[in-house]
């Protein structure tokens, strides 16, 4: 049973097709694994065992008849507890949401697509309150820990999703990313994570953080993420900003390789970021492998300074909007750090917000021009490896907020570009290191192609 939890979604589907095993035994194995790791790692808000086994049994019957209903029929998947999942409360890490008050009868668009394709929902994964920070702890569900070292953080805000995938509690996870929230935990937990171009995966209800918020997959490997993207991409009438159908299959596009692609490598965004030596070395080795596979690599920095103040204006104002309806008593239940940034956010004027939008628009223009020359940009995902669990920033780092140690991720939420974190090794303590691949808007296919090539390179 434990071996089944180590298989990718692609391999599971092949096993179903061949009759080697079925969705019921795979789902049981994933649930058993989730229950076993939960006490130490705390990746789940709730498991949905009865519903999962019921869906698995229906899938198994379809496979027996040779009539699978979609691309992921019978594959276990988890959903971050920011996204609606029919039949389960969505509490968003907050004690201010009453599970008995909602009807909980609607799926988010990506969840609906997964359901249509026969996926088996194992449960809801943990998030910091309203997904506000780059680590995963909340007043509702406590601290989520790193699968490699439980004393360390899993990252966030999709920390439960990344930890679940890393530990074999389902090969696929659905996360959200407003400033790095898929890529940060992917890097810290040693899995693959993709933030698609904004609108490629529709979102409903709309995020209070506006067009910074993306929905994307966390998986064991790139092929699983591409398959998941083939399912969850496409328009949804509930999201007016969602894009139309992709031009082709993400899975079929993986084999193109990187030969001839123009790749820019920025080790520190022009000296703006201090990167741990072991992280820098691992990422450089990954870049050298891309060059060895035929990419034209140039060490060059994108033309922008750190947009953190503008990001803070957009992010903190969004947080203030999230809690605007709460009573004073409910506000006392909030994560203290969230309460603090909401206090800052409510003080911004409309002109402050529009000034931040101007910075964002200029950043997007600069990156658009950058990608006129370079197909891809490669950086570290995070300049550090996983630090102590239960804190927002590494101790003695000098950082005030989580954005202080995530300067490689949030700029590309502001520009809405696709960006992925690819595992490229571990540090001396065995903690994973991630390399970030960034593409021009709507070139998710190139990001996935490069990640696939890198993942298959010798030594990775």
Phi, psi angles (nearest 5°) of residue 152 = -105, 165
Helical packing angle, 222-232 and 444-455, nearest 10°: 160
Question: Which residue is it, tokens 């939890």?
Answer: 5
Strand partners, 265: 299, 378
The whole-angstrom separation of Cα 27 and Cα 4 is: 9
Selected catalytic residue, list 94, 158, 181, 242 = 181
The whole-angstrom separation of Cα 178 and Cα 191 is: 19
Q: Where are the beta strands (DSSP E) in 168-305?
A: 172-177, 192-195, 214-219, 262-265, 296-299
Sign of dihedral through CA atoms 229, 235, 240, 243?
A: positive
Known catalytic membership, residue 138: no
Known catalytic membership, residue 281: no
Structure tokens that stand for 106 in this block: 């609607």
Structure tokens that stand for 123 in this block: 């449960």
Sign of dihedral through CA atoms 326, 327, 333, 335?
A: positive
Known catalytic membership, residue 80: yes
**Mode of pairing for the β-strands spanning 262-265 and 296-299:** parallel
Strand partners, 125: 44, 80
Selected catalytic residue, list 157, 197, 233, 242 = 157
- Cα 164 to the chain's mean position, in Å? 12
Question: Hey, which residues are catalytic here?
Answer: 80, 157, 181
């Amino acid at each position: 049973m434990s071996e089944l939890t180590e298989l990718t979604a692609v391999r599971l589907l092949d096993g179903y097709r061949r009759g080697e095993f079925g969705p019921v035994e795979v789902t049981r194995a994933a649930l058993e694994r989730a229950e076993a790791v939960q006490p130490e790692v705390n990746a789940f808000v709730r498991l949905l065992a009865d519903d999962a086994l019921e869906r698995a049994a229906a899938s198994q019957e379809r496979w027996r008849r040779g009539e699978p209903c979609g691309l992921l029929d019978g594959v276990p998947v988890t959903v971050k507890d920011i996204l609606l999942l029919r039949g389960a409360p969505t509490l968003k890490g907050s004690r201010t949401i009453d599970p008995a008050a909602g009807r909980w009868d609607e799926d988010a668009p990506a969840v609906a697509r997964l359901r249509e394709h026969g996926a088996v929902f194992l449960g809801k994964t943990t998030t910091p309150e309203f997904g506000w920070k780059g680590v995963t702890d909340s007043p509702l569900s406590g601290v989520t820990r790193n699968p490699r070292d439980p004393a360390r953080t899993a990252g966030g805000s999709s920390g439960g999703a990344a930890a679940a995938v890393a530990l074999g509690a389902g090969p696929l996870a659905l996360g959200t990313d407003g400033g790095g929230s898929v890529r940060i935990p992917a890097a810290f937990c040693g899995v693959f994570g993709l933030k698609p171009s904004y609108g490629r995966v529709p979102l409903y209800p709309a995020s209070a953080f506006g067009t910074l918020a993306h929905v994307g997959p966390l998986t064991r490997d790139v092929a699983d993420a591409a398959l998941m993207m083939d399912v969850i991409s496409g328009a949804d009438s509930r999201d007016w900003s969602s894009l139309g159908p992709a031009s082709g299959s993400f899975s079929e596009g993986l084999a193109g390789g990187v030969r001839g692609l123009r790749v820019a490598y920025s080790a520190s965004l022009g000296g703006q970021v201090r990167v741990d030596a072991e992280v820098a070395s691992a990422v450089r080795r990954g870049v050298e492998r891309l060059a060895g596979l035929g990419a034209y690599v140039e060490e060059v920095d994108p033309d922008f300074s750190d947009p953190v103040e503008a990001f803070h204006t957009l992010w903190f104002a969004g947080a203030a909007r999230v809690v605007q309806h709460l009573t004073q008593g409910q506000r006392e239940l909030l994560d203290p750090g969230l309460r603090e940034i909401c206090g800052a956010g409510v003080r911004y004027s409309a002109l402050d917000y529009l000034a931040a939008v101007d910075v964002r628009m200029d950043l997007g223009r600069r990156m658009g021009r950058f990608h006129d020359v370079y197909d891809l940009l490669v950086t570290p995902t995070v300049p550090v490896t996983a630090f102590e669990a239960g804190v927002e920033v590494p101790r003695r780092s000098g950082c005030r907020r989580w954005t202080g140690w995530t300067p490689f991720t949030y700029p590309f939420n502001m520009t809405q570009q696709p960006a992925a974190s690819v595992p490229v090794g571990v540090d001396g303590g065995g903690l994973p290191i991630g390399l970030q691949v960034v593409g021009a808007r709507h070139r998710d296919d190139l990001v996935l192609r490069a990640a696939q090539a890198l993942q298959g390179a010798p030594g990775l």
